[in-house]
Amino acid sequence: MKLAIVTAYPPSKVTLNEYAYYLVKHFRKHQDVSELILLIDVPSEEADIHFEEEASKISVRHCWNFNSYTNLFTVMKAINEVKPDAVLFNLQFMKFGDKKIPAALGLLLPGICKLKGIPTITLLHNILEQVDLKSAGFTSNKIMQKVYNFIGTTLTRFILASDTVAVTISKYVEVLNEKYMAKNVKLIPHGTFEIPETPNYNIPEGSLKVMTFGKFGTYKKVEILIEAIEKIRATTNRAIEIVVAGTDNPNVPGYLKSVQETYKNVPQLTFTGYVAEEDVAGLFEESAVVVFPYTSTTGSSGVLHQAGSYGKAVVMPDLGDLSILVKEEGYRGEFFTPESVDSLATAIQSILENDAYRISLGKANYNAATALPMSKIVDMYMDEFNEIIDRKVSGVFDVAWRKELVG
């Protein structure tokens, strides 16, 4: 199969670029993939495709840009030129832009590919029906929330024009089937990026590192974590370091800089900035616990799957998609009440003060992560593509047989 993937891709700052990296890493190894064409948003020469093997399978085209009004045309031009056997779109609603028209135009692409007869799967990482628009930082205005919901419903109908829409959480399947009467939605879990050897559940001596990782400023806020650790420090002699790993959410530039200024007198507070891929393992391995200081959720959490792959205990709000993942995929953690410093402090402290409990959570999360490696997820996509192709071929022969019979 000659497969095209339309996605943001490292070193892009557009969301889901990391997920695309690991999809590509495993698609290139699949025996049924003869060629991968990446249709991406960064200059071709900058794309991170320096894999140890099978890199010759991959070609790259820079054919779209965030908030460009021409993406619909430039991506279709690239698809027409490369003539793939199938196309995979790695999407969420603001993939092609945070302005209404560029975002909407980009989301027309899956339907156009289907109309052209190209087997098309859209991986949709979130659905607007499951997002708290106020908590997620979109808008608190009731009228604007209705506008966003109307736009989201319209865009969802565009996306559902794909041959198959893959979602990562079962609740999304239920919502899309019920609201849109969809028949082409499939559950394909998020998967775990890397599966290291069985982790060493011991942690380095010295300060206990409490780490959070992501793009911050909208529904991911680090103030509550800093204040919770300060509260714990007042009751213990253990040295605790706070590690904030990652960058601003593109919609909130300057957020982390302002937090640094506000809390400049807090000791052992580290802001790593952007974390290069080769540094991710060390970041997780040195951490005693990984915290999710979220007020909302907008899809399956890549960071939770990463924490599981390194055998880490986690602290999460008991809400939305994180709660569903715990029930469906077997992850375990301490829960806290969103926006409650006291609740978060209690949850973190219960792990830091009990090594046996910390290790038991880490082992449970490692087992959950290893159950769904990215290689298995790629197999599921290939099976679905083959089913789509078989249906199309059967349809062609069925039409030809009927014409012959009538004739």
Give the CATH number for residue 347.
Answer: 3.40.50.2000
Q: Please report the beta strands in 80-229, taking only residues with DSSP state E, as ranges in sequence order.
A: 86-91, 120-124, 164-167, 185-187, 208-216
**Domain contains 283:** yes
Q: Containing H/E element for 245? A: strand 240-248
Structural Rg of the chain based on CA atoms: 22
Q: Residues 154, 156, 158, 160: what is their CA dihedral angle, to the nearest 10 degrees?
A: -140
**This prediction's pTM:** 0.78
Domain of residue 282 covers 208-370
**Burial group, residue 187, by CB count within 10 angstroms (0-12, 13-18, 19+):** middle
Residue 225 belongs to some domain of the structure? yes
- Whether residue 200 is contained in a domain is answered as no
- Same structural domain for residues 378 and 268? no
| 290 part of a folded domain | yes
> Does one domain contain both 45 and 185?
yes
Burial of 181 per CB tally in 10 Å (0-12, 13-18, 19+): exposed
Q: What is the pLDDT of residue 250?
A: 74
Same domain, 34 and 176: yes
pLDDT digits (tens, 9 = 90+) for 37-90: 999 999 988 888 877 666 678 999 999 999 999 999 999 999 999 999 999 999
- In the chain, the N- to C-terminal Cα span, in Å, equals 35
Per-residue confidence (pLDDT) for residue 135, from 0 to 100: 53
- 373: which DSSP letter? B
Average confidence (pLDDT) per 10 residues, the chain, 407 residues: 95 86 92 94 88 77 95 96 96 83 90 93 83 53 65 83 92 91 92 81 90 88 96 92 90 91 95 87 93 78 86 88 76 90 96 95 92 91 94 61 48
* 186 lies in the same domain as 217: no
The answer to the question of residue 288 being in a domain is yes
Check residue 305 and give its pLDDT.
85
- Whole-number Å distance between alpha carbons of 279 and 287: 13
CB 384, CB 164: distance < 8 Å: yes
Dihedral in degrees, nearest 10, Cα atoms 374, 364, 15, 294: 170
- Is 136 in the same domain as 212? no
Considering the domain architecture, whether residues 183 and 223 belong to the same structural domain is answered as no
DSSP E strand boundaries for 14-142 = 35-40, 58-62, 86-91, 120-124
* pLDDT tens by residue, 251-310: 788 999 999 999 999 999 999 998 887 888 899 999 999 999 988 766 667 788 889 889
Residue 126: which of 176, 65, 180, 177 has the closest Cα?
176
The candidate with the shortest Cα–Cα distance to 285, out of 362, 347, 226, 229, is 362
Residues 157 and 55 in one domain: yes
Do 139 and 43 share a domain, yes or no? yes
* Number of domains within the chain: 2
Side chain identity, residue 367: N
Asked if the structure places residue 273 within a domain, the reply is yes
Alpha-carbon distance 335 to 312, whole Å? 15
Q: Is residue 243 part of a domain?
A: yes
> Distances in Å between the alpha carbon of 360 and those of 35, 69, 209?
42, 50, 18
Q: Count of alpha carbons within 13 Å of 230, Cβ hemisphere only? A: 12
**352, 361, 345, 355: which is closest to 240 by C-alpha?**
352
Q: Within this chain, do residues 48 and 116 fall inside the same structural domain, yes or no?
A: yes
- Whether residues 134 and 225 share a domain: the answer is no
Residues 6+ apart with CB under 8 A from 292: 212, 220, 301, 303, 304, 314, 315, 316, 317, 322
CB 4 within 8 A of CB 76: no
125 in Cβ contact with 148 (< 8 Å): no
* Inside any domain, residue 197: no
Look at residue 39 in the predicted model and tell me its pLDDT.
97
Q: Are residues 253 and 180 in the same domain?
A: no
**Number of alpha helices (DSSP H) and beta strands (DSSP E) in the chain:** 14, 13
Tell whether 42 and 187 lie within a shared domain: yes
